[in-house]
Amino acid sequence: MRICLLTNEFPADSLSDAESDYISELARGLDGLGHEVTVICARSKNADIKGKIRVIVAAPSKRIADLRLVRRTMPKSVGHACELLGFWQAFCQTGAEFDVVEAPETLAGALLTAFSRETPTVMRITGRKDAESGEQMKNFDDQFANLICDFAYASVDLFSCASSAGSEYVRQVRGFDARQVVINAAEKECDIATTAANIYATAIERFAGVRKPHLYRHGAQRLIKSTEDMIVLYDRMLYDLLFRVSYTFRIGHWFRKLLNNPEAFKTRLFARFSQRV
């Protein structure tokens, strides 16, 4: 099988999170079984990787990082969007057609571009911390990541659960039936690579048997550009609107210009007064 794995860090070390550690072990195991493995990660330490594993580092979206207003008002959302768009771009740049894609729960949004290419998907469930805490999010900036994750939950083909508690969460809280949930716990006699390969086969079979509508008919690459354009235009439109209607916002705008580039600010101010004279 041609398998794509998404993770935060690859290869994992003693300081990495549990999900990165799992994906690192899984990738090596799948490679050892003869599968074609590609890993897309946010960070890589260029350690020695045995086998034929292809590693791609996802660079955050530069266009989203340069936003003016939204970057200040919704820093969490913009940071999350930068990361996800980086994964989308890296996934498209692989130039490969995968049989299946797996991502951990924390990177659920990175699966969205796989949906657009109509690729079978598996989400690894370890347990949602926000579901256990019961804390209510106060604003959109706090909710954005969960909204993206919720959409991924509704679109993924199969869930790989680390424990029976995780499977119960997916079945009861999320409302999915047992056919969509596979427990991949330590109690299994097979190694994680063999177990995962069986899960992937089930996901591929399920994907082939369920007709899904096209989420985006113009291709994954155009999906990324359209998403970036939409966010950038929204930011520009909102910024321009506030600049026109709010004197306080306008004063803040020029004050930031002065702090960031005093010489350019003075030159522009002098030119403005020269025109009036």
3-state secondary structure 95-129: CCCCCEEEEEHHHHHHHHHHHHCCCCEEEEECCCH
Phi, psi of 2 (to 5 degrees): -95, 110
Closest CA to 193 of 22, 39, 12, 21: 22
pTM above 0.75, yes or no: no
Burial of 91 (0-12, 13-18, 19+ CB in 10 A): buried
Closest CA to 212 of 104, 147, 116: 116
Secondary structure (3-state) at 160? strand
**Order of strands across the sheet that contains 100-104:** 54-57, 36-43, 2-9, 100-104, 121-125, 158-161, 181-183
pLDDT at residue 185, as a whole number: 44
pLDDT at residue 100, as a whole number: 92
The pLDDT tens digits for 135-165 are: 455 666 777 777 888 888 877 888 887 767 6
pLDDT at residue 50, as a whole number: 56
pLDDT at residue 131, as a whole number: 44
User: Is the model more confident about 31 or about 215?
Assistant: 31
User: Is the model more confident about 186 or about 8?
Assistant: 8
What mean pLDDT do residues 203-207 have?
85
What mean pLDDT do residues 178-195 have?
64
Structure tokens at 154: 């509704």
> Do residues 44 and 55 touch, judged by C-beta distance below 8 A?
yes
Could you tell me the end-to-end alpha-carbon distance of the chain, in angstroms, rounded to an integer?
A: 73
User: Is the model more confident about 107 or about 219?
Assistant: 107
pLDDT at residue 130, as a whole number: 46
Angle at alpha carbon of residue 219, lines to 214 and 224, rounded to 5°: 110
User: Is the model more confident about 72 or about 175?
Assistant: 72
Structure tokens at 139: 């604003």
For residue 15, is pLDDT > 70?
yes
User: Is the model more confident about 155 or about 277?
Assistant: 155
Structure tokens at 213: 């509508």
User: Is the model more confident about 134 or about 195?
Assistant: 195
Structure tokens at 101: 């894609």
For residue 71, is pLDDT > 80?
no
Give the Cα separation of 96 and 3 in Å (integer).
10
What residues contact 124, with CB distance under 8 A and at least 6 apart?
A: 19, 22, 102, 103, 104, 105, 159, 160, 162, 184
For residue 267, is pLDDT > 90?
no
Percent of the chain with pLDDT over 90: 9
What mean pLDDT do residues 271-275 have?
68
The pLDDT tens digits for 84-140 are: 888 888 888 887 789 999 998 888 888 877 766 678 889 888 765 444 444 455 666
> Domains plus CATH for the chain?
2-221 (3.40.50.2000), 222-276 (no CATH)
Give the Cα separation of 86 and 159 in Å (integer).
24
Give the Cα separation of 230 and 172 in Å (integer).
35
Highest mean pLDDT among 142-156, 182-196, 255-269: 142-156
Report the length, in residues, of the chain: 277
User: Is the model more confident about 212 or about 77?
Assistant: 77
Following CA atoms 58, 220, 224, 77 in sequence, which dihedral angle do they give, to the nearest 10 degrees? Answer: -70
Secondary structure (3-state) at 238? helix
